[in-house]
């Protein structure tokens, strides 16, 4: 019975018992459960349990954040739950709605940055045409429009890749499936045109399926054509089916020839089924869904904008906004415009204004220091630092931001503002509302920003009171002594930890520290000490200094999934290391090309042992610069 046996037993009991666990893996700080039913887990008990930092739910996983000693806890949990270390990671994923949200977020989230960038290019192009700097018939317009339109036109190819990763299909096969859906001669309009060349223009379709017209057949089966370029939903369902086909043939075909025979049968089966059955049915259903959404907005645009604006930030917190985002993408790719998300536009500005007001009223210096960077990121549409670090913990200010967002959404929908691209977030989002020579939507968007910010700021400034007891500041510096200075383990750009894309790091759940955007793929020892933990995939390393500071260096986000590719270890777990010694090297470009961020949190995991952890104020650091100072 090990040191962490009691903790492991409590964790197993509170995730619903061993019968509720489908599988378990771990990374450098977390136990990653796949549970049969997440509702059976006792979130509050786990969060308040000694030895557990917090609980996170992400990517279909129930994550119990432990800290550097997670491997030891993992071994105990494996033994108690009777699991195998190589248990297949599959689960029911909860109810249908939760599974759908998980699938949509997994498919769309990886390329949202590129989607926003493309939308910004289109918005900029529209702005420059509006300002008469060139015409919509010029070569400049054509090139920029092509750059901005490409991701929308070839949406099935992009989603073919991300959906393949989500459903564990060979990603290259996913891309081929998406490309096949974009192939010109298989589009519904092309099939109809080919038929009418011989039958005459306007001739009735010779076949039908489910009441839909079909102009050709495949092995005698009516082939209902649809327009798949710029489509969103059909590719996800076809890839999901293809993943099942792949799984079947991997069991049948010998490994020596799987490389080409498995993709052969996947394409040969999945695509015809997709073209003949899945595509037409899904296209019909999405058309009905889009029509229903338009009817809802047509019933009362004002009410729709009010409700969406009020609840948008709540939807984002729980990941439920993924039930709405695909509808907007679908409308813009197919129709060139959408009002689905317009009502949510003012939410980030309302949140930002609330933080501005809180800055003047906060007594806690540490929270107050978070306000300026949160305000800056909020202006550009990134509100997670503000929500999780400042307003949500105080509750009332968050509600005030919801009210401001609701009134802003109401104004936009009353004035029938329409979005013509999925462009940038925050202030860059105003370019979404330009349509040719008509920039009235931009003017309305600025008014909505003003309304949302005024309401959020005013309510917070006049009706919220910070009940936190003011910190004692007298002779603070004299009462603190430097305990240990930590050199930067990585050369690069320093950012506040709150900007980390992973909320467990951003909220400081694992301890205080900083975030580094590396410019050199080398991790060096920041002090003399010992390698306490070195994960097999080399993406994270835990150190303990000779003076007792415990430090976690986590290279990139979700890079555990690379399984060590792009990393090279120079030390082993248990090694004694000297300041400046190379610990790990990593391929920055390779990691980015694989679709992962290289942002590197450097965390003091035993923060509670110090009076304060002081981070450097430098924007750029090298291995010779002090990054963190522990004060005792």
Q: What is the DSSP string of 14-64?
A: HTT-GGGEEEEEE-SSEEEEEES-GGGS-HHHHHTSTT--EEEEETTEEEE
Give the span between the Cα atoms of 219 and 223, in whole angstroms: 10
Mean pLDDT rounded to a whole number for the chain: 84
Give the span between the Cα atoms of 445 and 432, in whole angstroms: 10
428 and 516 fall within a common domain: no
Query: Has residue 353 got a pLDDT over 90?
Result: yes
Query: Has residue 173 got a pLDDT over 90?
Result: yes
pLDDT greater at residue 94 or residue 491: 491
Does residue 100 lie within any of the structural domains? no
> What mean pLDDT is predicted for residues 214-221?
89
**Cβ pair 492, 518 in contact under 8 A:** yes
So what's the pLDDT on residue 130?
Answer: 79
Query: Has residue 478 got a pLDDT over 60?
Result: no
Quickly list DSSP for 140-207.
Answer: HHHHHHHHHHHHHHTHHHHHHHHHHHHTT--HHHHHHHHHHHH-GGGSHHHHHHHHHHHH-TTPPPSE
Give the total number of structural domains in the chain.
Answer: 4
pLDDT greater at residue 495 or residue 114: 495
Name the least confident of 89-93, 180-184, 342-346: 89-93
Give the span between the Cα atoms of 193 and 195, in whole angstroms: 5
pLDDT tens digits for 67-109? 657 778 888 898 898 876 444 334 344 556 556 666 776 787 6
Q: Please enumerate in sequence order all residues whose Cβ is within 8 A of that of 148, keeping only pairs 6 or more positions apart, or say none.
A: 118, 119, 120, 121, 122, 125, 421
Does residue 313 lie within any of the structural domains? yes
401 and 537 fall within a common domain: no
Compute CA distances 527 → 389, 391, 509, 602, 613, whole Å: 30, 37, 23, 13, 16
Q: Three-class SS of residue 574? A: coil
Q: Please enumerate in sequence order all residues whose Cβ is within 8 A of that of 84, keeping only pairs 6 or more positions apart, or say none.
A: 78
Instruction: Measure the N-to-C terminal CA separation of the chain; round to a whole number of Å.
Output: 35
Q: Which of 160, 151, 149, 133 is nearest to 235 (CA)?
A: 160
Does residue 615 lie within any of the structural domains? yes
Show the beta-strand stretches assigned E in 326-436.
none
pLDDT tens digits for 382-434? 676 677 668 877 889 999 999 999 999 999 999 999 988 876 678 888 888 98
Which of 134-143, 168-177, 358-367, 535-544 has the highest average model confidence (pLDDT)? Answer: 168-177
Tell me whether strands 482-487 and 626-631 are parallel, antiparallel or unpaired.
antiparallel
268 and 158 fall within a common domain: yes
Compute CA distances 384 → 86, 193, 232, 502, 598, whole Å: 35, 50, 27, 10, 19
Does residue 103 lie within any of the structural domains? no
Which of 206-215, 265-274, 570-579 has the highest average model confidence (pLDDT)? Answer: 265-274
Give the span between the Cα atoms of 169 and 249, in whole angstroms: 12
Considering 463, 488, 521, which residue would you say is the last residue of a domain?
Answer: 463
458 and 482 fall within a common domain: no
546 and 596 fall within a common domain: yes
Q: Which of 436, 459, 432 is nearest to 445 (CA)?
A: 432
Measured in whole angstroms, the distance separating CA 202 from the mean position of its chain's CA atoms is 47
Is the four-CA dihedral 397, 403, 405, 411 of positive or negative sign? Answer: negative
Considering 244, 269, 299, which residue would you say is the last residue of a domain?
Answer: 299
457 and 516 fall within a common domain: no
Query: Has residue 473 got a pLDDT over 60?
Result: no
286 and 153 fall within a common domain: yes
pLDDT tens digits for 421-455? 876 678 888 888 988 778 889 999 999 999 999 99
Does residue 573 lie within any of the structural domains? yes
53 and 9 fall within a common domain: yes
pLDDT greater at residue 120 or residue 9: 9
Q: Which long-range contacts (CB under 8 A, 24 or more apart) does 95-98 make?
A: 98/38
Query: Has residue 589 got a pLDDT over 60?
Result: yes
Does residue 471 lie within any of the structural domains? no
Domain holding 27: CATH number?
3.30.1360.60
pTM as predicted:
0.51
Catalytic residues: 27
Give the span between the Cα atoms of 164 and 258, in whole angstroms: 17
324 and 437 fall within a common domain: yes
Dihedral-angle region of residue 400 (phi above 0 means left; psi in -120 to 50 means alpha; beta otherwise):
alpha
Give the span between the Cα atoms of 391 and 511, in whole angstroms: 20
DSSP tag of 570: S
Considering 252, 282, 299, which residue would you say is the last residue of a domain?
Answer: 299
Write out the residue range of the structural domain in which residue 82 sits: 5-94
Does residue 469 lie within any of the structural domains? no
234 and 314 fall within a common domain: no
Query: Has residue 622 got a pLDDT over 80?
Result: yes
331 and 277 fall within a common domain: no
407 and 556 fall within a common domain: no
Does residue 543 lie within any of the structural domains? yes
């Amino acid at each position: 019975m090990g040191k962490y046996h009691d903790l492991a037993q409590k964790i197993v009991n509170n995730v619903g018992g061993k019968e509720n666990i489908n599988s378990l893996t771990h990374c450098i700080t977390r136990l990653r459960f796949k549970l049969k039913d997440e509702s059976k887990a006792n979130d509050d008990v786990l969060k308040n349990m000694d030895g557990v930092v917090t609980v996170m739910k992400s990517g279909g996983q129930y994550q119990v954040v432990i800290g550097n000693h997670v491997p030891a806890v993992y071994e105990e949990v494996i033994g108690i739950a009777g699991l195998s270390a190589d248990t297949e990671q599959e689960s029911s994923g909860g109810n249908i709605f939760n599974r759908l949200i998980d699938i949509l977020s997994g498919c769309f989230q990886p390329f949202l940055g590129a989607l926003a960038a493309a939308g910004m290019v289109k918005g900029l192009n529209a702005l420059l045409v509006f300002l008469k700097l060139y015409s919509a018939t010029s070569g400049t317009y054509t090139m920029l429009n092509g750059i901005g339109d490409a991701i929308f036109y070839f949406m099935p190819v992009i989603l073919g890749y991300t959906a393949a990763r989500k459903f564990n299909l060979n990603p290259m096969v996913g891309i081929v499936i998406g490309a096949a859906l974009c192939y010109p001669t298989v589009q519904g309009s092309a099939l109809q045109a080919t038929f009418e060349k011989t039958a005459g223009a306007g001739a009735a379709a010779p076949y039908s399926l489910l009441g839909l017209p079909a102009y050709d057949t495949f092995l005698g089966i009516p082939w209902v054509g649809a327009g798949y370029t710029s489509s969103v939903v059909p590719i996800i369902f076809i890839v999901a089916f293809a993943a099942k086909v792949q799984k079947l043939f991997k069991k049948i075909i010998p490994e020596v020839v799987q490389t080409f025979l498995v993709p052969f049968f996947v394409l040969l089966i999945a695509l015809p089924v997709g073209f003949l059955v899945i595509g037409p049915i899904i296209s019909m259903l999405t058309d009905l869904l889009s029509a229903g959404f338009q009817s809802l907005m047509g019933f009362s645009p004002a009410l729709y904008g009010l409700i969406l604006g009020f609840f948008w930030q709540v939807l984002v917190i729980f990941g439920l906004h993924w039930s709405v985002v695909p509808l907007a993408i679908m409308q813009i790719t197919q129709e060139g415009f959408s009002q689905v998300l317009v009502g949510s536009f003012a939410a980030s500005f309302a949140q930002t204004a609330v933080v501005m007001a809180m800055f003047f009223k906060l007594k806690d210096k540490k929270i107050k220091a978070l306000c300026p960077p949160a305000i800056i990121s909020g202006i550009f549409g990134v509100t997670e630092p503000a929500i999780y670090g400042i307003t949500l913990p105080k509750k009332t200010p968050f509600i005030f931001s919801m009210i401001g967002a609701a009134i802003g959404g109401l104004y936009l929908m009353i004035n029938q503002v329409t979005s013509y691209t999925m462009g940038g977030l925050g202030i860059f989002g105003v370019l979404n509302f330009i349509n040719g020579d008509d920039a009235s939507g931009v003017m309305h968007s600025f008014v909505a920003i003003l309304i949302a910010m005024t309401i959020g700021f005013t309510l917070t400034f006049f009706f919220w009171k910070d009940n936190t007891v003011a910190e004692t500041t007298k002779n603070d510096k004299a009462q603190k002594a430097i305990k240990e200075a930590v050199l930067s383990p990585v050369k690069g750009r320093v950012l506040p930890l709150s900007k980390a894309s992973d909320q467990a790091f951003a909220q400081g759940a694992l301890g205080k520290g900083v975030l580094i955007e590396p410019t050199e793929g080398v991790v060096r020892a920041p002090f003399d000490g010992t390698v306490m933990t070195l994960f097999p995939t080399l993406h994270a390393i835990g150190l303990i200094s000779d003076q007792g500071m415990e430090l976690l260096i986590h290279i990139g986000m979700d890079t555990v999934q690379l399984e060590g590719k792009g990393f090279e270890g120079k030390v082993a777990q248990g090694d004694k290391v000297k300041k400046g010694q190379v610990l790990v090297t990593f391929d920055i470009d390779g990691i980015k090309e694989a679709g992962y961020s290289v942002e590197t949190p450097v965390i003091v995991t035993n923060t509670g042992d110090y009076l304060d952890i002081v981070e450097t104020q430098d924007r750029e650091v090298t291995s010779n610069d002090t990054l963190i100072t522990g004060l005792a």
